[in-house]
Amino acid sequence: MAPPSGLVTLELDRPAPAPDPDATAEGYLVATDDGSRIHFVEWRGARSGTGVPVVLVPGLAATTAIWAPVARRLVGERRVIVVDPRGHGLSDAPFEGYEPARLGDDVVTAMDGSGMGGTFVLAGHGYGAILAAVAARILGERCRGLVLVDGGWERLTETLDMDADEFARGLDEPPEVMRTLARYLADRRGFDPQTWDADQEAAARDAVVETAAGHVVRSIRPHALEASVRAMFDYEPLAVLPLVDAPIAVLAARDDTARRREAALREAADAVVRATGRPIRVARYPSDGHNLIRYRPADVAAAISSVAA
């Protein structure tokens, strides 16, 4: 008998709810065991859902605001928590504690600090997918599902063929983009004008700080960005994903290294199915860039609902 396939298509049969334009996010702080404060927001809407709660984790140098298009669709079905990773947004930015295991534990601490007991669905974007995966492993049976939005299944040194230092150098923005806030926002709007709205502008503004001279700089501190990049490159998916005791779904965007990323995804899926008997379900978006939260929020929300069913 042939071994089971480790990778199957993610069927989004159930459409995501319409977004709630009046939903709002309320912020909180919770202390970790090393004294660092982790910030998270809970979304509240007109309706109160009873589905499995979901915890969302932003990507590198982003904040909780980036998840708004998805949170607005989920808030009527379930409680929705979004966590600022250590060093990001309104969370503390200590000089230590950026190992993947510590960062995953920060996510769990925020979840428990929210007062939600029982089980959860976790979803993360890019860097946040790594943290969500580590948190899912820590949670064990308390994790009902894991959604990796364009990240979390690969060893970056292999798929990108570069090290952490080279990757970090490539994050620099062109000086003309950062010259004024207006230019920066115009650049972000230009990625896809059709999806630019008040939530996208809020997320873009959250990621930078305007200086007294009128220029903008990243809101994440340089030491926290460097440490977070190193955590990304230290992550070993084959040591984490097979230990996740829950269904895993992947949403994969267009990428210049698509062939290597696909090979890494198949390797991870084979390891997961051998360990758990469950394949990884995948939806591919070859026409869309990395920020699927912006470009495909309904699909991301539907994927989260599908693993929580």
User: CA–CA distance from 211 to each of 19, 175, 178, 262 (Å)?
Assistant: 34, 14, 11, 41
> Torsions phi, psi of 29, nearest 5?
-125, 140
Q: In whole angstroms, what is the distance from residue 80 CA to residue 45 CA?
A: 10
pLDDT at 47: 79
pLDDT in the model for residue 4: 54
What are the mean pLDDT values of the chain's consecutive 10-residue runs (309 residues total)? 71 87 97 96 86 96 98 95 98 97 97 88 98 97 97 97 95 95 97 97 97 94 97 98 97 92 96 96 96 97 90
Whether the CA torsion 6, 234, 136, 303 is positive or negative: it is negative
- Per-domain residue ranges of the chain: 7-170+221-308
Structure letter (DSSP) for residue 35: S
The answer to whether the CB of 134 falls within 8 A of the CB of 101 is yes
**Sequence-separated (6 or more) residues with CB below 8 Å from residue 176:** 183
Which residue do the tokens 């995966």 mark?
133
State in words which class domain 7-170+221-308 has.
Answer: alpha beta
User: Quick one: which of 161, 151, 207 has its CA closest to 184?
Assistant: 207
Identify the residue whose tokens are 């758990």. Answer: 276
DSSP the chain: -PPPPSEEE----SPPPPP-TT-EEEEEEEE-TTS-EEEEEEEE-SS---EEEEEEE--TT--GGGGHHHHHHHTTTEEEEEEPPTTSTTS---SS--SHHHHHHHHHHHHHHTT--S-EEEEEETHHHHHHHHHHHHHGGGEEEEEEES-SSS-HHHHS-S-HHHHHHTTPPPTTTSS-HHHHHHHHHHT-GGG-SHHHHHHHHHTEEE-TTS-EEESS-HHHHHHHHHHHHH--GGGTGGG--S-EEEEEE--TTHHHHHHHHHHHHHHHHHHHS-PEEEEEETTS-S-HHHH-HHHHHHHHHHHH-
Instruction: State the pLDDT at residue 140.
Output: 95
